[in-house]
């Protein structure tokens, strides 16, 4: 059975989906990677979809979901990417690990679309560095 890694954010519209897409690609098929929110926005931000497509990752089929959907599932690792989700995070069945790696919320970016895209790209790249390093460690401990 594949370990489940759950990435939590408040709205589950940007950061958690960026992280989910990046981590899923970095880990391959040996893990189940999902994301959810404590107060789901009900959509995935279009600019998050756009900046992920720029690096060849399609998250257009992702949807915003509530973390309660995972309360009856074994979740080995929970990773929160914002402070509100970290505070609202329950203990999930089977949970062995919890990490908190906060990132700026690109959904709050203002200005022109190009200026907003610059913020989305910066946050995507910050998330990429952290989650790819984490994935490398997980794969190394499993012996790839």
Query: What is the tens place of the pLDDT at every residue in 107-128?
Result: 999 999 999 999 999 999 999 9
What per-residue confidence (pLDDT) applies to 144?
A: 57
Q: Is the pLDDT of residue 80 over 90?
A: yes
Which residue do the tokens 């940007």 mark? 14
CATH architecture of 4-141: 3-Layer(aba) Sandwich (3.40)
What per-residue confidence (pLDDT) applies to 52?
A: 98
37 vs 142, more confident: 37
Rounded Cα–Cα distance for residues 77 and 22 (Å): 16
Of 7, 8, 9, 47, catalytic: 9
82 catalytic? Reply is yes
9 catalytic? Reply is yes
Residues 6/35, Cβ–Cβ less than 8 Å: yes
Of 22, 51, 57, 89, catalytic: 89
Strands 77-80 and 32-37: unpaired
> Which sequence spans correspond to the domains of the chain?
4-141
Of 5, 26, 82, 119, catalytic: 82
């Amino acid at each position: 059975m594949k370990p489940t890694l759950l990435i939590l954010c408040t709205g589950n519209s940007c950061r958690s989906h960026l992280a989910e897409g990046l981590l899923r690609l970095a880990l391959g098929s040996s893990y189940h990677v999902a994301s959810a929110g404590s107060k789901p926005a009900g959509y995935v931000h279009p600019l998050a979809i756009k900046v992920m497509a720029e690096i060849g990752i399609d998250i257009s089929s992702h949807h915003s979901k509530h973390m309660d959907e995972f309360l009856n599932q074994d979740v080995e690792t929970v990773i929160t990417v914002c402070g509100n989700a970290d505070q609202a995070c329950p203990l999930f069945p089977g949970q062995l690990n919890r990490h908190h790696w906060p990132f700026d919320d690109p959904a709050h970016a203002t200005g022109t679309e190009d200026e907003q895209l610059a913020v989305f790209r910066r946050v995507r790249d910050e998330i990429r560095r952290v989650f790819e390093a984490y994935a490398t460690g997980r794969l190394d401990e499993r012996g790839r």
